[in-house]
């Protein structure tokens, strides 16, 4: 049985549980239960605070963990990065009151910076030769300048709306962050085999992201033209129809270019275009 540590609430919890669900790993979410087993896969989920996950994986309490890159770097736990998951993206940034004129990092010399990430901040300040006082605070870091506790803050930024509502503006991005799947270095061979099965499912889900399965009726007289504009994985599937002058073409399109390509197909005489989402894709 493989054990994975997951944040007990918040955006990272939601994104992680969605990934497990899309990979057909059924786990019941319960706020009252610390440890829950999957119904159809040899996996159990351990619900923890996000800042406890890196150490839990490093010490082997959990075999795996899903944690923000910011927490992984801050805790410095000896756990290996198995995969970048591509969701729960944010950044760690320095922000100051918006009315202050900012001309560069030297502004922070002699200032007090409030943060929940002192390790990452200290490394950044040392690297750039900045001498500032770090005030460690948990909770609502963004209110610190407003109540006179600090001159600036170093905190997570996603949309930036929290900074705006507290009359702050972002002036330096220190690091980008996303969800990481981390693992215990001493994981057994048997558990790594289960991990490989889970990663295989994750990859199938990832490959299907922003992809559409497209079927259309196409005139055979323009078939080669139509095929030339289809950026499918390989060659599109072409199926004969009862009408000898027509065929059915099946392919996969990236959503980013979907409307551009569909417009060209219409111009080339394609009809009856049917578009469906893709849940999984195995290459």
Task: Report the alpha-carbon distance of residue 85 to residue 177 in Å, rounded.
Answer: 11
User: What are 138's two structure tokens?
Assistant: 């948990």
What's the CA angle centered on 87, arms 54 and 19, to 5 degrees? 85
Task: Report the alpha-carbon distance of residue 5 to residue 17 in Å, rounded.
Answer: 12
Q: What are phi and psi of 279, to 5 degrees?
A: -85, -45
Task: Report the alpha-carbon distance of residue 109 to residue 111 in Å, rounded.
Answer: 5
3-state per-residue secondary structure call for 118-141: HHHHHHHHHHCCCCCEEEECCCCH
Q: What is the CATH number of domain 2-87+178-207?
A: 3.40.190.10
pLDDT single digits (tens) 161-220: 999 999 999 999 999 999 999 999 999 999 999 999 999 999 999 888 888 999 999 999
Single pTM value for the model: 0.82
The packing angle between helices 189-208 and 11-22, to 10°, is 90
Asked if the domains at 2-87+178-207 and 90-177 fall in one CATH topology, the answer is yes
The fourth-level CATH superfamily of domain 90-177 is: Periplasmic binding protein-like II (3.40.190.10)
Where are the domains positioned within the chain?
Answer: 2-87+178-207, 90-177, 210-277
Task: Report the alpha-carbon distance of residue 103 to residue 142 in Å, rounded.
Answer: 21
- Look at strands 211-219 and 237-240 and give their pairing: unpaired
User: 210-277 is classed in which CATH architecture?
Assistant: 2-Layer Sandwich (3.30)
User: pLDDT 10s digit of each residue in the chain, 283 long?
Assistant: 999 999 988 889 999 999 999 999 999 766 567 899 999 999 999 999 998 999 999 999 999 999 999 999 999 989 999 999 999 999 999 999 999 999 999 999 999 999 999 999 999 999 999 999 999 998 889 999 999 999 999 999 988 899 999 999 999 999 999 999 999 999 999 999 999 999 999 999 988 888 899 999 999 999 999 998 887 556 789 999 999 999 999 999 888 888 999 999 999 999 999 999 888 888 7
């Amino acid at each position: 049985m493989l054990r994975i540590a997951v944040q007990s609430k918040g955006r990272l919890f939601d994104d992680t549980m969605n990934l497990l669900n899309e990979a057909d790993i059924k786990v019941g979410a319960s706020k009252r239960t610390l440890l829950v087993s999957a119904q159809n896969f040899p996996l159990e989920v351990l619900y923890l605070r996000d800042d406890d996950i890196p150490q839990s994986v490093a010490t082997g309490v959990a075999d795996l963990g899903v944690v923000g890159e910011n927490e992984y770097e801050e805790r410095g736990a000896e756990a290996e990065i198995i995969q970048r998951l591509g969701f729960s993206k944010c950044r760690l940034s320095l922000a100051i009151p918006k009315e202050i004129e900012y001309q560069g990092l030297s502004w922070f010399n002699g200032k007090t910076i409030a943060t929940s990430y002192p390790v990452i901040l200290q490394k950044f300040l040392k690297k750039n030769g900045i001498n500032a006082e770090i005030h460690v605070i948990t909770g609502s870091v963004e209110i610190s300048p407003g109540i006179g506790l600090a001159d600036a803050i170093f905190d997570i930024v996603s949309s930036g709306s929290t900074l705006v509502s507290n009359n702050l503006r972002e002036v330096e991005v220190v690091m980008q962050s996303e969800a990481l799947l981390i693992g215990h270095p001493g994981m057994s061979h048997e558990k790594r085999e289960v991990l490989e099965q889970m990663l295989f499912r994750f990859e199938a889900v990832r490959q299907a992201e922003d992809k559409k399965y497209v079927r259309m009726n196409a005139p055979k007289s323009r078939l080669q033209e139509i095929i030339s504009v289809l950026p499918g994985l390989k060659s599109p599937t072409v199926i004969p129809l009862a009408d000898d002058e027509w065929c059915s073409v099946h392919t996969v399109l990236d959503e980013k270019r979907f409307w551009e390509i569909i417009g060209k197909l219409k111009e080339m005489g394609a009809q009856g275009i049917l578009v469906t989402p893709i849940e999984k894709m195995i290459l």
